[in-house]
Chains A and B, each alone.
Chain A
Amino acid sequence: MLKSLHAKHSDLSKTEKQLEILSNGIFKDGSLPTFADKIKAVNAFPLQPKKIEILQLNVGYMCNQVCAHCHVDAGPDRKEIMTVETMQQCLDVIKNTGVHTLDLTGGAPEMNPNFRWFVEQASLLGVQDFIVRSNLTIILANKKYHDLPEFFAKHNVHVISSLPFYKKEKTDKQRGDGVFDQSIKALQMLNKVGYGKAGSNLKLDLVYNPSGAFLPTDQKALEHDFKKALKEDFDIVFHSLFAITNLPISRFLDYLIASDNYDDYMYALVEAFNPSAVANVMCTNTISVSWDGWLYDCDFNQMLGLKVATKERHISQYNEENLSKRNIIISQHCYGCTAGAGSSCQGAVV
């Protein structure tokens, strides 16, 4: 089993090292413009939020998979887990603010021992969209998770699942041996309880991210190919496919450097910069909360240790007014969200 960068004590498990790599080299010698310069040129600097609509909670870095591109550096060796106390603080925020979407991620969020309690509590609050980002294989990893499809359905959870490709080889290469077959079984279990069917309220969306140093193509074309292949080969249906660009941080950054693709990938991101994607990047309407309750502009800033630029930086001090007036912290990794059709946790943004 692969180990996380954290467990290997890799230099790249340190956020300062990642930021140093991102800031120096081709961005320091002037070969490429910095993200700040690029958005200054389109009058979008400093980047500022709109209304906060989405609360994204990372409820722990523990995961049953060790994916080669994981920006969280999650895995079985990660022990960081959100406590009930922090979860309660998040529930209080949802209750008292205009947040309409709750987005649970990890690691495998289901591995947090308080996961089911939280889902039960949160579903009572009646948020419009209650998302759980499931890696699929967790459903089959242990008997105690086998009833997750029924549990999700009972609480009307919107399931968003990663499936790098509709073929075994690419999926297993990125996410580990056997992941494809297990994912297919899990998707069939979700379909069986009503997820993903046309007209069904039980939303099942898939996430595609490129299995290597290239950018995703048109989301609609990929969705068409995924739907056709999964239906024909496995009788699986789902609602939408979200194409997400891999951001050059953590394990994906490690891969880019080790495979000598870093410079070319950054050139590709900068070349694909799309000014119209800037206005809709996810950090403009999302707040990301880490397992220990700190607040970030997005999941990627969380992994780089870049907390929000406000006086109150913890969920226990959540101040909607000040958060709405903050400047969003940016670095070169932000090119990933503004390349081509843009990229967010909900896929393309333009």
Chain B
Amino acid sequence: MDKTYYDPADLKKFGKISDWNAELGDKFFDYYGKVFEEGSLSAREKSLIALAVSHTVQCPYCIDAYTGDGLKRGITKEEMMEAVHVAAAIRGGATLVHSVQMMNKYDKLSM
């Protein structure tokens, strides 16, 4: 048996999370379904946001799911990569902006 943390086949079992707590599981899936409906943002835009966030939270299931979803919707690979760069820029920026705290503390502690 393979000893790995992630199995791609587990993505198909996502719905089974309701088996051990139907009430909360069903509420989550109702919410999830509503979130991705066409709204002020198009379902296409939401799919790209989901793909970018998937990279930020480093969820391999989500990356598989929203790459497939993007292909279905005719989202190009250039659009997908741009979305990932947006995620990377925010993540990188979030790291770098904390350097202000580091600089403040450095200055405070230094003569």
Task: Give A contacts to B, CB under 8 Å.
Answer: 165, 167, 170, 210, 212, 214-218, 221-222, 225, 267, 271
Cβ contacts A to B, 13 pairs, < 8 Å: A165-B74, A170-B76, A210-B71, A212-B71, A214-B68, A214-B71, A215-B72, A216-B72, A217-B74, A218-B43, A221-B43, A222-B73, A271-B12
A313 to B75, CA, bound (A): 44
Residues of B within 8 A of A (CB): 12, 43-44, 68, 71-74, 76
Give the interface SS of chain A, mostly helix, strand, loop or mixed.
Answer: loop
> Contact between A222 and B71 (Cβ–Cβ < 8 Å)?
no
Q: Of all chain B residues, which has the CB nearest A226?
A: B74
Secondary structure at the B interface, as helix, strand, loop or mixed, is helix
| B44 and A221 contact, CB distance less than 8 A | yes
CB nearest neighbor in A for B72: A217
| A225 lies within 8 A of B71 (CB) | no
A216 to B74, CA, bound (A): 9
Pick the residue among B12, B73, B76 that contacts A217 (CB under 8 A): B73
B12 CB contact (under 8 Å) in A165, A167, A210, A267: A267
Give which listed residue, B44, B71, B73, B76, contacts A167 with CB less than 8 A. Answer: B76
Residues of chain B with a CB closer than 8 A to A215's CB? 72
Q: Evaluate contact between A225 and B74: CB separation under 8 angstroms.
A: yes
How far, in Å, is B19 (CB) from chain A's closest CB? 17
Q: Which residue of B has the minimal Cβ distance to A208?
A: B74
Residue of B12, B68, B74, B76 near A222 (CB, 8 A) is B74
Chain B residue nearest in CB terms to A267: B12
In this complex, which of A167, A212, A221 has the most chain B Cβ atoms within 10 angstroms of its Cβ?
A221
Residue of A nearest to B77 (CB): A169
Measured in the bound complex, the distance between the Cα atoms of B74 and A267 in whole Å is 21
Cα–Cα, bound, A190→B43 (Å): 33
Residue of A215, A217, A218, A221 with highest tally of chain B CB at under 10 A: A217
**Residues of chain B with a CB closer than 8 A to A212's CB:** 71
Nearest chain B CB to A131's CB is how many angstroms away?
25
Report the nearest A residue to B76, measured CB to CB: A167
Q: Which residues of B contact A222 (CB under 8 A)?
A: 73-74
Complex CA gap A225/B43 in Å reads 13
Q: Which residues of chain B are within 8 angstroms of A167 by Cβ–Cβ distance?
A: 76
Of A165, A214, A267, A271, the contact of B72 (CB 8 Å cutoff):
A214
Q: Which residues in A have their C-beta under 8 angstroms from that of B68?
A: 214
**Nearest chain B CB to A266 CB, angstrom units:** 12
